[in-house]
């Protein structure tokens, strides 16, 4: 008598009977389907969170650098407007327009980046850096 064969036969019969009753039991089928869906959803959510973190990690330095540039532009024009804006309506209107055009949500828009998070369109920043430099030359570096 081989004990291993007897044990295997017992479990094989039990599994076979359970498989047949499982296939016919609607409650067990529903439970299995719920667990399958939950596992699928957990996998999707986990993958999205991982990709989201990867995207954040790679794009954050780019966004921070752009935020710094925009902050310097707006800060420069605001400083100059506070000092010379009453005498220079063009400076005032340029400052207001700069605030609208350099809105950080607009600068960090997907339209300005390629699929590898590289900035493709720096026209707005370049424009306002030049405007700020011109006003600095006019008022500070006379």
Helix, strand, or coil (residue 113): strand
Asked whether 104 and 70 are in contact (CB, 8 A), the reply is yes
In degrees rounded to 5, what are phi and psi of residue 121? Answer: -135, 100
Distances (CA, A) of 123 to 79, 110, 120, 130: 23, 15, 9, 11
Q: What is the pLDDT of residues 16-25, one digit of tens each?
A: 555 555 567 8
CA separation for the pair 118, 12 (Å, rounded): 59
CA separation for the pair 134, 131 (Å, rounded): 5
What pLDDT is recorded for position 118?
78
CA proximity to 90, closest of 7, 6, 98, 10: 98
* Confidence tier at 120 by pLDDT (50, 70, 90): confident
Q: What is the pLDDT of residues 29-54, one digit of tens each?
A: 888 888 888 888 878 877 777 777 87
Asked whether 98 and 80 are in contact (CB, 8 A), the reply is no
Percent of the chain scoring above 70 in pLDDT: 84
In degrees rounded to 5, what are phi and psi of residue 2? Answer: -100, 115
What pLDDT is recorded for position 95?
97
**Domain edges within the chain:** 3-139
Q: Around Cβ 88, how many Cβ atoms within 10 Å?
A: 17
| Distance separating the N- and C-terminal Cα atoms of the chain | 107
pTM greater than 0.85: no
């Amino acid at each position: 008598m081989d004990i291993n064969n007897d044990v295997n036969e017992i479990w094989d019969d039990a599994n076979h009977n359970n498989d047949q009753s499982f296939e016919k039991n609607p409650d067990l089928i529903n439970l299995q389907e719920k667990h399958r869906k939950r596992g699928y959803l957990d996998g999707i959510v986990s993958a999205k969170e991982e990709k989201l973190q990867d995207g954040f990690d790679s794009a954050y330095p780019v966004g921070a650098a752009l935020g710094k540039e925009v902050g310097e532009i707006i800060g420069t024009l605001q400083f100059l407007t506070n000092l010379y804006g009453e005498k220079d309506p063009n400076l005032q209107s340029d400052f207001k327009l700069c605030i609208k055009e350099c809105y950080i949500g607009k600068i960090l828009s997907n339209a300005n980046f390629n699929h590898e998070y590289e900035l493709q369109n720096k026209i707005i920043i370049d424009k306002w850096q030049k405007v700020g430099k011109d006003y600095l030359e006019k008022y500070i570096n006379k």
